[in-house]
Amino acid sequence: MSTPAYPHPIIAREGWAFVALALFIAAALTWAGPWWLAALAWLVALFIVQFFRDPPRVAPEMANAVLSPADGKIVLVERTRDPYLDRDALKISVFMNVFAVHSNRSPVDAVVKNKWYHPGRFLNAALDKASLENERSALHLTTSAGVDVTCVQIAGLIARRVLCYVEPGDRLSRGQRYGFIRFGSRVDLYLPPDARPKVAVGDAAYATTTIVAELA
């Protein structure tokens, strides 16, 4: 089964209701409220619009590239254990603050083999223990070459909703949008141990356009 391409509006559909409500309140206060409260409402509305922005991206032409699944900052690059596939792995984590684009995209061309959802806590997503303690949704992806990749959406201190739109059997293209996390969060990638990292802790990453690793 093939997953249809997620639409590419400038403002992500997950935010339409939030944006509409914020603009309505700001407009109402401009008409009937004190100027300072109206100004504050417009600032909040602008923040919500920028949070839900969702620009189209073009994937690099590299067959063995692993693309960043999210916008943000690289907070972890290490050799560890993949808790979902029970294997040694290269782990790369991207932390999204409230000013990052929060649409999540597939790091590779792959078929979804499995999906897990775990309820949990809402710790600061920049902390390493958030990977195993926070609410999260994980995908097991397998490329046409048989390479396994685990991609994990993790809720954060403010983020309270992890959205994942694919199911086992769906096919994803590199850079295809498959989910969204609201208001600050993290995405972990678990790659084969022979994958070569192309980023370091502290680097900025952009979903689809940043190559975070190369598969052997």
Torsions phi, psi for 44 (to 5 deg): -65, -40
Instruction: Specify the pLDDT at position 1.
Output: 38
Token pair for residue 43? 């600032």
Q: What is the CATH number of domain 65-214?
A: 2.70.70.10
Taking only the tens place, the pLDDT of each residue in 14-35 is 888 989 999 999 999 999 879 8
Question: What is the C-alpha separation between 66 and 83, in angstroms, rounded?
Answer: 20
Active site members? 185
Taking only the tens place, the pLDDT of each residue in 53-80 is 888 888 998 889 999 999 999 999 999 9
Give the pTM. 0.84
Torsions phi, psi for 13 (to 5 deg): -60, -25
Question: What is the C-alpha separation between 97 and 126, in angstroms, rounded?
Answer: 9
Q: pLDDT class for 12, splitting at 50, 70, 90?
A: confident
Taking only the tens place, the pLDDT of each residue in 75-101 is 999 999 999 999 999 999 999 888 888
Instruction: Specify the pLDDT at position 158.
Output: 56
Residue spans of beta strands (DSSP E) within the chain: 65-67, 72-82, 87-96, 103-105, 110-118, 136-142, 148-155, 162-164, 171-172, 177-181, 185-191, 196-197, 204-205, 211-214
Residue ranges per structural domain of the chain: 1-56, 65-214
